[in-house]
Amino acid sequence: MSERRIEFGTSLRSPYEVGKLSRQIEDLGFDILGCGEHVSFYGDTANGFVSLSVAAGATSRIRLMSTITLVPLYPAALLAKMGAALDVASGGRYMMGVGVGGEFANEFEACGVPVKQRGSRTDDALEVVTRTWTATDVSYDGRYTKLRNFSLKPLPIQKPRPPIWVSGRSDAAMRRAAKYADGWLPYMYTPEQFAESIAKIRAYGEDLGRDMTDFSFGMFIFTAVHEDNDRAVKFASDRLSTQYSQDFSKLVHKFALAGDPERCQARLREYVDAGASLIMVPAACPDDYIDTNLEMIASTIMPAFRP
């Protein structure tokens, strides 16, 4: 048993049957429901705001996290409005996960956004989001966004604003997290890389004169749990190879959580010991094993980290 309660979340992998899967995840005891997004990708993908809105109507307790919103593809004021509206519609359960994207250039071209501007556009948008979620009659003269006495009505329910979590792996993402966010949620990270990123973000926060005491650190790790260890590893390898259109057979043990319950607990303990207080465990398995995978996580993994 863990001496402190670790929060667990998982993500909607499919844009279909969102309400049904959201209720199932809530009933299994997960704390957070995530949803990723792409405008276009290798396979079927959702839009985070749309799917999480459906999830909001289908659930009553679980918090709703965009994992992640492709921030540079949205006009900043529209992004702020959609986040505020989802927080209101869900009764104050929204958490904005932020990422710059860029791994699929086709969608940036289709949206008229230069890939090289994704970082600067994200920073601009986060300025707009944080200002317009906490005040009215906002004026702002940014590189990409100009506001004159601009107000969102209604403002988000959560005060001072919904939590913002920054995802990524780069130093720029870590600096962004320290400046704008309440939490850090990287993926494809080893426990050692995770610990190093925590130290960097705390240092960046200190440089900014920010009190990092209440800053949270989480890990987004693709997961397959099965009583047969080798089968779980194959599940994860095959799924991630398809999802990212590259060979993951040599990367599974490094970047995914895959194996029997005992091995998954031991690996997860490394991330918790490094400083993780939130673990997002999206499925890395065949479609016909997703339900069982979620049940295995809830019954054999989560209890070990909840006092």
SS (H, E, C) 185-230: CCECCCHHHHHHHHHHHHHHHHHCCCCCCCCEEEEECCEEECCCHH
CA 177, CA 221: separation in Å to the nearest integer?
A: 19
CA 283, CA 168: separation in Å to the nearest integer?
A: 19
Report the pLDDT value the prediction gives residue 3, as an integer from 0 to 100.
Answer: 65
Low-confidence ranges of the chain (pLDDT < 70): 1-3
Give CA separation, 306 vs 3, 238, 276, 298, in Å.
Answer: 8, 31, 13, 11
Give CA separation, 243 vs 27, 41, 67, 172, 273, in Å.
Answer: 27, 9, 16, 25, 29
Report the pLDDT value the prediction gives residue 42, as an integer from 0 to 100.
Answer: 86
Report the pLDDT value the prediction gives residue 2, as an integer from 0 to 100.
Answer: 46
**CATH class given for the domain over 7-305:** alpha beta
CA 33, CA 66: separation in Å to the nearest integer?
A: 8
CA 300, CA 1: separation in Å to the nearest integer?
A: 12
pTM of the full predicted structure?
A: 0.95
- Cα 159 to chain centroid distance, Å, stands at 20
